[in-house]
Amino acid sequence: GVGFKNGSMRLGEDALVLSKSKDTQSVIFLSRNLNKGRQNLYVPQYTLNTHSLEYAAELMDLEEAENNKQMIMKHSIFINERLLQRQMEEIRSTTGTRIIILNPVLDELDLTSDPHDIRIAKRELDDGLNFRQESRVQAKDVP
Protein backbone atom coordinates (compact mmCIF):
# COMPACT_ATOMS: atom_id res chain seq x y z
CA GLY A 1 0.00 0.00 0.00
CA VAL A 2 0.90 3.63 0.42
CA GLY A 3 3.06 2.93 3.50
CA PHE A 4 5.23 0.49 1.58
CA LYS A 5 5.68 2.88 -1.36
CA ASN A 6 6.52 5.83 0.88
CA GLY A 7 8.86 3.73 3.04
CA SER A 8 10.71 2.16 0.14
CA MET A 9 11.12 5.52 -1.57
CA ARG A 10 12.72 6.88 1.62
CA LEU A 11 15.28 4.07 1.48
CA GLY A 12 16.09 4.32 -2.21
CA GLU A 13 15.29 6.12 -5.41
CA ASP A 14 13.92 2.94 -6.97
CA ALA A 15 12.47 -0.39 -5.83
CA LEU A 16 11.93 -3.62 -7.71
CA VAL A 17 9.16 -5.77 -6.24
CA LEU A 18 8.97 -9.44 -7.24
CA SER A 19 5.93 -11.37 -6.11
CA LYS A 20 5.21 -15.03 -6.62
CA SER A 21 2.04 -17.06 -6.18
CA LYS A 22 1.22 -20.64 -7.07
CA ASP A 23 0.22 -19.69 -10.65
CA THR A 24 1.82 -16.29 -11.38
CA GLN A 25 4.99 -14.24 -10.94
CA SER A 26 4.83 -10.45 -11.04
CA VAL A 27 7.54 -7.82 -11.38
CA ILE A 28 6.82 -4.18 -10.47
CA PHE A 29 9.28 -1.28 -10.73
CA LEU A 30 8.67 1.72 -8.45
CA SER A 31 10.96 4.53 -9.53
CA ARG A 32 11.48 8.13 -8.55
CA ASN A 33 14.06 8.46 -11.29
CA LEU A 34 11.71 7.15 -13.96
CA ASN A 35 8.99 9.59 -12.90
CA LYS A 36 11.03 12.78 -12.50
CA GLY A 37 9.31 15.61 -14.33
CA ARG A 38 6.17 13.57 -15.05
CA GLN A 39 2.67 14.60 -14.02
CA ASN A 40 1.27 11.06 -14.23
CA LEU A 41 2.96 8.28 -12.29
CA TYR A 42 4.33 5.46 -14.48
CA VAL A 43 4.85 2.07 -12.81
CA PRO A 44 6.03 -0.61 -15.26
CA GLN A 45 4.91 -4.10 -14.31
CA TYR A 46 4.25 -7.47 -15.87
CA THR A 47 3.02 -10.89 -14.82
CA LEU A 48 4.14 -14.32 -16.00
CA ASN A 49 2.56 -17.74 -15.70
CA THR A 50 4.71 -19.53 -13.10
CA HIS A 51 4.84 -22.80 -15.02
CA SER A 52 5.34 -21.65 -18.63
CA LEU A 53 7.08 -18.29 -17.89
CA GLU A 54 4.87 -16.79 -20.63
CA TYR A 55 2.99 -13.54 -20.08
CA ALA A 56 -0.28 -14.00 -18.22
CA ALA A 57 -2.44 -12.76 -21.13
CA GLU A 58 -5.60 -12.90 -19.03
CA LEU A 59 -4.16 -10.23 -16.73
CA MET A 60 -2.73 -7.67 -19.16
CA ASP A 61 -2.13 -6.82 -22.79
CA LEU A 62 0.88 -8.75 -24.12
CA GLU A 63 2.40 -5.74 -25.90
CA GLU A 64 2.07 -3.62 -22.77
CA ALA A 65 3.65 -6.40 -20.69
CA GLU A 66 6.63 -6.66 -23.09
CA ASN A 67 7.08 -2.86 -23.15
CA ASN A 68 7.00 -2.77 -19.35
CA LYS A 69 9.58 -5.57 -19.07
CA GLN A 70 11.85 -3.75 -21.54
CA MET A 71 11.48 -0.53 -19.51
CA ILE A 72 12.43 -2.37 -16.31
CA MET A 73 15.49 -3.93 -17.95
CA LYS A 74 16.51 -0.58 -19.44
CA HIS A 75 16.24 1.39 -16.20
CA SER A 76 17.17 -1.06 -13.46
CA ILE A 77 20.32 -3.02 -12.71
CA PHE A 78 18.69 -6.19 -14.05
CA ILE A 79 19.53 -5.77 -17.71
CA ASN A 80 18.13 -9.02 -19.08
CA GLU A 81 15.39 -11.60 -18.48
CA ARG A 82 17.81 -14.09 -16.98
CA LEU A 83 18.84 -11.69 -14.21
CA LEU A 84 15.22 -10.86 -13.41
CA GLN A 85 14.26 -14.54 -13.34
CA ARG A 86 17.20 -15.34 -11.08
CA GLN A 87 15.84 -12.84 -8.57
CA MET A 88 12.43 -14.49 -8.76
CA GLU A 89 14.05 -17.88 -8.12
CA GLU A 90 15.45 -16.47 -4.87
CA ILE A 91 11.89 -16.73 -3.57
CA ARG A 92 12.33 -20.36 -2.56
CA SER A 93 8.73 -21.13 -1.59
CA THR A 94 5.73 -21.34 -3.93
CA THR A 95 4.54 -17.93 -2.73
CA GLY A 96 6.36 -14.86 -1.48
CA THR A 97 7.70 -11.40 -2.20
CA ARG A 98 11.23 -10.09 -2.71
CA ILE A 99 11.92 -6.36 -2.56
CA ILE A 100 15.14 -4.92 -3.94
CA ILE A 101 15.89 -1.28 -3.13
CA LEU A 102 18.01 0.39 -5.83
CA ASN A 103 19.99 3.64 -5.68
CA PRO A 104 19.90 3.72 -1.86
CA VAL A 105 19.54 6.98 0.03
CA LEU A 106 22.41 6.23 2.39
CA ASP A 107 21.64 8.93 4.96
CA GLU A 108 18.37 7.06 5.73
CA LEU A 109 20.10 3.72 6.39
CA ASP A 110 21.91 2.31 9.42
CA LEU A 111 24.49 0.06 7.77
CA THR A 112 26.56 -0.70 10.88
CA SER A 113 24.32 -1.86 13.78
CA ASP A 114 23.46 -5.28 12.35
CA PRO A 115 25.67 -6.60 9.52
CA HIS A 116 22.93 -9.04 8.42
CA ASP A 117 20.06 -6.53 8.37
CA ILE A 118 20.84 -4.40 5.31
CA ARG A 119 23.09 -5.80 2.61
CA ILE A 120 24.46 -3.94 -0.39
CA ALA A 121 24.65 -6.20 -3.45
CA LYS A 122 27.95 -6.85 -5.18
CA ARG A 123 28.47 -4.89 -8.38
CA GLU A 124 29.28 -8.03 -10.33
CA LEU A 125 27.40 -11.33 -10.47
CA ASP A 126 29.03 -14.72 -10.00
CA ASP A 127 28.69 -15.66 -13.67
CA GLY A 128 30.49 -12.52 -14.84
CA LEU A 129 27.42 -10.56 -15.94
CA ASN A 130 27.76 -6.99 -14.78
CA PHE A 131 25.19 -4.98 -12.89
CA ARG A 132 24.65 -1.48 -14.16
CA GLN A 133 26.67 0.90 -12.04
CA GLU A 134 23.86 3.43 -12.03
CA SER A 135 20.28 3.34 -13.23
CA ARG A 136 19.30 6.94 -13.79
CA VAL A 137 16.61 7.70 -16.34
CA GLN A 138 15.16 10.68 -18.07
CA ALA A 139 11.42 11.36 -18.06
CA LYS A 140 11.49 11.68 -21.87
CA ASP A 141 12.41 7.94 -22.08
CA VAL A 142 9.06 6.95 -20.62
CA PRO A 143 6.17 6.16 -22.98
C-alpha R_g of the chain:
15
Q: At residue 57, what are phi and psi to the nearest 5 degrees?
A: -60, -30
Q: Are 60 and 47 in contact (CB under 8 A)?
A: yes
- Would you say 71 and 64 are in contact if contact means Cβ atoms under 8 Å apart? no
Residue 67 reports pLDDT greater than 80: yes
Least confident of 26-30, 113-117, 124-128: 124-128
DSSP code, position 92: -
66 vs 5, which has greater pLDDT? 66
Q: What are phi and psi of 123, to 5 degrees?
A: -80, -15
* pLDDT at res. 8: 63
33 falls in which pLDDT band (50, 70, 90)? Answer: confident
Residue 128 pLDDT: 40
pLDDT of residue 6: 60
Q: Which of 116, 87, 101, 78 is nearest to 26 (CA)?
A: 87
Highest mean pLDDT among 2-11, 34-43, 65-74 belongs to 65-74
Q: H or E segment at 20?
A: strand 12-20
User: How many C-beta neighbours within 10 Å does residue 102 have?
Assistant: 24
DSSP conformational letter for 55: B
Percent of the chain with pLDDT over 70: 71
Q: What pTM value is reported for the model?
A: 0.74
65-86-70 Cα angle (round to 5)? 25
Query: Is residue 119 scored above 90 in pLDDT?
Result: no
Per DSSP, what are the bridge partners of residue 101?
15
